[in-house]
Amino acid sequence: MTTLDKITDNFSQQIKTSGIIKIDDIPNIDLYMDQVTTFMDKALGKCKRYEDDKILTKTMINNYTKAKIFPAPVKKKYTRTHLMLLIMIYHLKSVLSIRDIGILFQPVLTVKPTDGQDDFIQNIYESFTKLQLIIQQTMQSSAEGILSNTNHAKDIIEGYQDEKTKKILLVLLLAIRANAEKQLAERALDSYF
């Protein structure tokens, strides 16, 4: 097994163990800020790159509220709906700007709570987790096949003898792909909102 095969195999295994927070795993009671950050750290801990990375801080959450991409807490407590939005924001913030997230969530946040905002957000969140599962499975297959012979990337990368060069090229390949998908997401957002 080549170094590149080991890297992609390791990534494939990590994808299998990355958690998707199902709606049933979200507390159905209102939480104070400290409880929210503790829940988010535990629930999204597998997403951390480094052990000391912060998932969400109080400042981040307050900034999302000030930017109007996140509703204010009710009597300093955050509902299950707040947690669903925070989980989605967490996953979006590395790809979209805060402004873009605000544009994306504007249709959600303009629905009044009395008109079923919680149900609307819950439906979006349930579909979000289904999409996560589909992408997780796709990424696992992609990681296993990213360097397959049908993809000429392996020929380019394996053409080098130096392992450092191969690793650099693999990272570049993945970054190019991620950037293309980020641009596609931005174009979709601009087209539809």
Q: Which two tokens stand for residue 34?
A: 């400290």
For residue 104, give Cα distances in angstroms to 69, 89, 100, 121, 140. 9, 10, 6, 13, 27
149 pLDDT more than 60: no
What DSSP state is assigned to residue 96?
S
Type of residue at 90: Y
- Nearest residue to 16 via CA among 161, 128, 140: 140
Residue 74 CB-half CA count within 13 A? 8
pTM: 0.81
User: pLDDT digits over 175-191, tens only?
Assistant: 888 888 888 889 889 98
Are the C-beta atoms of residues 108 and 124 closer than 8 Å to each other? yes
Task: Please state, as a whole number, how many other Cβ atoms lie within 10 Å of the Cβ of residue 138.
Answer: 11
User: pLDDT digits over 38-95, tens only?
Assistant: 999 999 988 888 888 888 999 999 999 998 888 999 999 999 999 999 999 999 998 9
Give the residue numbers spanning the domain of 53.
3-192
The number of distinct structural domains making up the chain is 1
